[in-house]
Amino acid sequence: MCGFIGKVSFDEINSQEVLNCNNLIECRGPDEKKQLTGNSSDNFKSNIDFNFSLIFNRLSIIDLSGSASQPMISKQFNSLILFNGEIFNHQDLRRDLEKKNINFFTDHSDTEVLLNGLSYYGLEFLNKVIGQFAIVFFDFNKNNVYLIRDRLGQKPLFYKSLPDSFSFSSNLKSLIALNKDKSIDETSLFTYLDLGVVPSPKTIIKDLYKVKPGEIIKFEFQNNKFKKTNIQYWNIEEFVSEEKFDSTKFFDLFNDSVNSRLVSDVPVANFLSGGIDSSSLVKSLNDNGQSINTFSVAYDDERYDETIWSSKVVQRYKTNHLSEKILIEEVSDYIDESIEIFDEPYSDPSTLPSFMLSKLISKKYKVAISGDGGDELLGGYLRTNLSLNNKKLKFNLSEKSFDIYNPIFGTGSKILSRSENIETRYRSFFHDKKLLNLLKIDHTNQEFKSVFYNQISDYKKLMLFEYKLYLSEMMMLKVDRTSMANSLEVRSPFVDHRLVQYILSTSPSYYDTNNSKAILKNYLADDFESEFINRKKMGFVFNLEKWTFSNINRIKNEFEKLNTYNISKSTINKLSIVKSRINAQRIWRLYFIEKYLRSLDNLI
């Protein structure tokens, strides 16, 4: 797992400037930094002159030798690659390429497998790849550069395109600094205030973009101009079907997904909360005869502590276990740091415990397996169940009640979640139109609206929305930033695209509205008692209300940048009238974006 930044231009490039903008990416790859600067016709067989300056920061996990460093060049194919991520089936892919008489100079680098595979097969090679990745691939024979992001958005990739140049980075703030432009996109800001995130392809900054999950941005060099083309190589909606669900096939895919994520030349740990998802991953490893390292955190606040459950998993599977305790007073010490690590705004307060967990585990490990994605895969969220069943009020009554609902009392989601319209019900768990009303902002988000108009079951509609918005645009952002800020690679077996494709293609006979994730609970049933398996789900949270309302004056004193958008301290005063968790989350959302906007001043 690594990070990179680069610029390609027909004009001269200030390489020192690119180097200066790399400092925010170094945490993603502290083991080695390598810069490559040159001209296409001088350094490669190209009939078009263009300049490039590329920097790669390496976190060494597979093939630790210097021969696996990046940027990696193929003289055999006249190509070059920058690659952030891991390819879990790289050994099988390498054997296939070697049968084609393709030469390798590294011992077992997955980067070289990607380089040679894309060079030999072209973009079709991506269909063979199992992994998480952001790739920049130069094909000097065709004078093309491709920016490629993995299917489900696990790794970030940002870019800016101009007629005579383009730049890219694993970090948005580094790209802002490189382009010397911090102009806020007001529409993106309003989207953030509503959703808590800015979905791809937009960012909070005008004219800076995110490569979408499953997308390729192709730059073709023509007449001293760069022609940009967007290519969607993987579209999750194409896999929706209603074939018969086969639990044997599901667990074959599940076990292969888990075990393939052990591929590493450094020790691998497992996040262990004691919940259904992380416990299932540990059971899979145990049943396959693997030696298991587990890591948990304990809270001295019993309302958020799950030690009693994680210890049962450790005892049952005899794992090599480490546990660290987080004290209540320590949480406040990490608040600002957990915000500062984000290169783009994201307001879910669970980023704080995720950041603290990654910081603790990174003291011992470089790689950790997590249970992220299990709820999306198997309908584990309460909002799924409620949206499929909540129709107690008529739609017209819901709308009228919502219109007169006072914003300081909450989002009004309990009203909208009873609408006759499933789109209205489900979106009520994500959007905060009432906060926009309070801020006097007229803005409507229509992201991923199309999924609700497909001729598919309501359950599949909700699955698509979860994957296209929550998992790809929110959850994966949180996992990547909180881990990579601590130079830790996280691997998520439930986000394996083969599992996702299979589940989407089958009838959801595994889904029970009265027994969430029954298929995994049955999987664990022989190893644990009912109390363990059927307990209430606990989110990865902390006492946000206590921190927010205890520090309300500190928060209000921060406000400066948001005044530009008519968001002032008076908004905080209004939200403080009702000291609920919802209002604490809203204040956190405003505090986060204020801190983020202020941080941009230090970049340019």
The pLDDT value recorded for residue 514 is 85
Confidence of residue 398 (pLDDT cuts 50, 70, 90): low
Output the pLDDT for position 288. Answer: 94
Residue 599: its pLDDT value, please? 94
Per the model's pLDDT, the better-predicted residue between 202 and 322 turns out to be 202
Comparing CA positions, the residue from 234, 253, 313, 295 lying closest to residue 493 is 253
Residue of 415, 451, 450 lying closest to 431 (CA atoms) = 415
Q: Rounded CA gap, 506 and 521, in Å?
A: 20
pLDDT tens readout for residues 441-467: 988 877 777 788 788 999 999 999 999
Predicted pLDDT at 539: 65
Domain with CATH 3.40.50.620 in the chain: 238-380+460-533
At 390, is the pLDDT very low, low, confident or very high (cuts 50, 70, 90)?
A: confident
pLDDT at 392 over 70: no
The predicted pLDDT at position 323 comes to: 87
pLDDT given for residue 391 in this prediction: 64
Q: Residue 165 pLDDT > 80, yes or no?
A: yes
The burial class, CB within 10 Å (0-12 / 13-18 / 19+), for 314 is: buried
What mean pLDDT is predicted for residues 587-596? 96
In CATH terms, is domain 238-380+460-533 a member of 3.40.50.620? yes
pLDDT at position 159 over 90: yes
3-state secondary structure of 71: coil
Q: How confident is the model at residue 568 (pLDDT cuts 50, 70, 90)?
A: confident
Among 460, 414, 448, 463, which residue's Cα sits nearest to residue 434? 414
Among 149, 486, 196, which residue's Cα sits nearest to residue 341?
Answer: 486
Q: Is the pLDDT of residue 399 over 80?
A: no
- Mind listing the pLDDT tens digit for each residue in 498-544? 999 999 999 999 998 888 899 999 999 999 999 999 988 776 677 88
- For the chain, first and last CA: distance in Å? 28
Whether the predicted pLDDT of 193 surpasses 80: yes
Contacts of 558 (CB under 8 A, 6+ apart): 591, 594, 595, 598
Which of the listed ranges 44-53, 482-491, 552-561 does the model predict with the highest average pLDDT? 482-491
* pLDDT mean over 388-402: 68
Q: Which fold has domain 2-234?
A: Glutamine Phosphoribosylpyrophosphate, subunit 1, domain 1 (3.60.20)
> Looking at residues 47-61, what average pLDDT do you find?
95
Give me the amino acid identity at 255: N
pLDDT at residue 222, as a whole number = 83
Q: How far apart are CA 345 and CA 340, in angstroms?
A: 10
In sequence order, the β-bridge partners of residue 144 are 139, 220
Structural tokens at position 354? 């995720």
pLDDT of residue 443: 87
Distance, CA of 330 to CA of 572 (rounded, Å): 25
Strand (E) or helix (H) holding 414: helix 413-416
pLDDT band at 179 (very low <50, low <70, confident <90, very high): very high
Which carries the bigger pLDDT value, residue 333 or residue 229? Answer: 229
- Cα dist from 579 to 259, 348, 390, 567, 575, whole Å: 46, 18, 27, 19, 8
Q: Looking at residue 397, what is its pLDDT? A: 57
Task: Identify the sign of the CA torsion 203, 209, 210, 214.
Answer: positive
pLDDT digit string (tens) for 313-335?
999 999 999 888 877 677 788 89
Residues of the chain with CATH 3.60.20.10: 2-234
Task: Tell me the pLDDT of the chain averaged across its residues.
Answer: 93
pLDDT at 455: 85
Residue with tokens 């994730």: 517
